[in-house]
């Protein structure tokens, strides 16, 4: 029997991309998964895929920028599954752009969807995570941008992800006495719909070739790291981040920055 059999998991941003990959991985490992997504059509597609594979999942529509909706997500999960053992916060809404190129509204959306939502979700989930038999787990999906590296013209994105890292370290101290661990996974480039929108398939392949391990990351890579941190055997790990970037931040750029800047500039002119 899987060590996640019966584990009750919330994944935000689970309608597509990284979040969907994480939700599918937990469901395949035997967990009961609540798919949190803003666009219900995507959530329904993810839900159908999990159920078709024999998994147990439900879906909840929410905008994580709203405190009350984050509370409702947790409450609905508790009502449906009898509790919450793991929360994975993957949702993010932030425009790419440097100083002067991002509106106040978009800047606030980034902080609300990434860092504030993490606060609200852990706050709502705290009493339930504290009752998890194997210890509660809160996992945030961050980024190497803003934490381990800086990418020009992605300043707003990096700021919001850096705030998330600060939250993880502080919140881990707040709840450590309640058998709840709080950690983050900070990926580098991941072959997701968002990355394809910026780079295109050819650009993604070119970028991946410059990564030291020879490829871009995948949602499955991030999902495996989530399963590791969520396992009972990871109860000694808290207040930390897993850098998941194929070695990109410890090796010369080899043209990665120039390629990304060209694609970002092209996207902003359309």
C-beta separation of 20 from 26 below 8 A: no
Please report, rounded to a whole number, the percentage of residues in the chain having pLDDT higher than 70: 91
When divided into structural domains, the chain yields a total of: 1
**Res 257 pLDDT > 70:** no
Q: Does residue 205 belong to any structural domain of this protein? A: no
118: domain CATH number is 3.40.50.720
Q: Does residue 269 belong to any structural domain of this protein? A: no
**Res 252 pLDDT > 90:** no
pLDDT the model gives residue 268: 57
Q: Does residue 265 belong to any structural domain of this protein? A: no
**Res 255 pLDDT > 60:** no
**33, 83, 117, 169, 235 from 130: Cα distances, Å:** 18, 10, 19, 18, 13
Q: Does residue 268 belong to any structural domain of this protein? A: no
Q: Provide the pLDDT confidence category of residue 265 given band limits of 50, 70 and 90.
A: low
Mean of pLDDT over the chain: 91
Q: Provide the pLDDT confidence category of residue 1 given band limits of 50, 70 and 90.
A: very low
Domain of 14, in residue numbers? 8-191+219-250
Task: Report residue 45 as tokens.
Answer: 């597609």
Cα 228 to Cα 231: distance, rounded to the nearest angstrom:
5
pLDDT the model gives residue 191: 80
Active-site residue numbers?
Answer: 157
Cα 217 to Cα 190: distance, rounded to the nearest angstrom:
4
**Res 263 pLDDT > 70:** no
Average pLDDT over residues 69-78: 98
Q: Does residue 212 belong to any structural domain of this protein? A: no
Average pLDDT over residues 151-170: 92
Q: Does residue 257 belong to any structural domain of this protein? A: no
Angle at 95 between CA 64 and CA 107, to 5 degrees: 70
Q: Does residue 72 belong to any structural domain of this protein? A: yes
């Amino acid at each position: 029997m899987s060590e996640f059999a019966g584990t009750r998991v919330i994944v935000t941003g689970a309608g597509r991309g990284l979040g969907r990959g994480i939700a599918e991985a937990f469901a395949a490992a035997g967990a009961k998964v609540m798919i949190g997504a803003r666009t219900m059509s995507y959530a329904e597609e993810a839900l159908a895929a999990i159920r078709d594979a024999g998994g147990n999942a439900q879906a909840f529509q929410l905008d994580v920028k709203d405190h009350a909706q984050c509370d409702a997500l947790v409450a609905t999960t508790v009502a449906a599954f009898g509790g919450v053992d793991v929360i994975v916060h993957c949702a993010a809404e932030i425009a790419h752009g440097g100083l002067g190129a991002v509106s106040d509204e978009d800047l606030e959306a980034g902080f609300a969807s990434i860092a504030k939502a993490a606060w609200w979700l852990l706050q709502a989930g705290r009493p339930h995570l504290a009752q998890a038999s194997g210890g509660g787990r809160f996992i945030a999906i961050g980024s190497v941008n803003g934490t381990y590296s800086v990418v020009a013209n992605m300043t707003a994105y990096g700021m919001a992800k850096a705030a998330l890292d600060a939250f993880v370290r502080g919140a881990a101290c707040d709840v450590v006495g309640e058998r709840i661990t709080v950690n983050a996974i900070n990926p580098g480039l991941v072959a997701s719909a968002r990355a394809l929108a910026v780079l295109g398939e050819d650009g993604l392949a070119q970028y991946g070739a410059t990564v030291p391990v020879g490829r871009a990351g995948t949602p499955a890579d991030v999902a495996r790291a989530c399963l590791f941190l969520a396992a009972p055997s990871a109860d000694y790990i808290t207040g930390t981040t897993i850098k998941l970037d194929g070695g990109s931040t410890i090796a010369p750029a080899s043209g990665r920055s120039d390629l990304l800047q060209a694609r970002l500039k092209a996207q902003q002119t359309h």
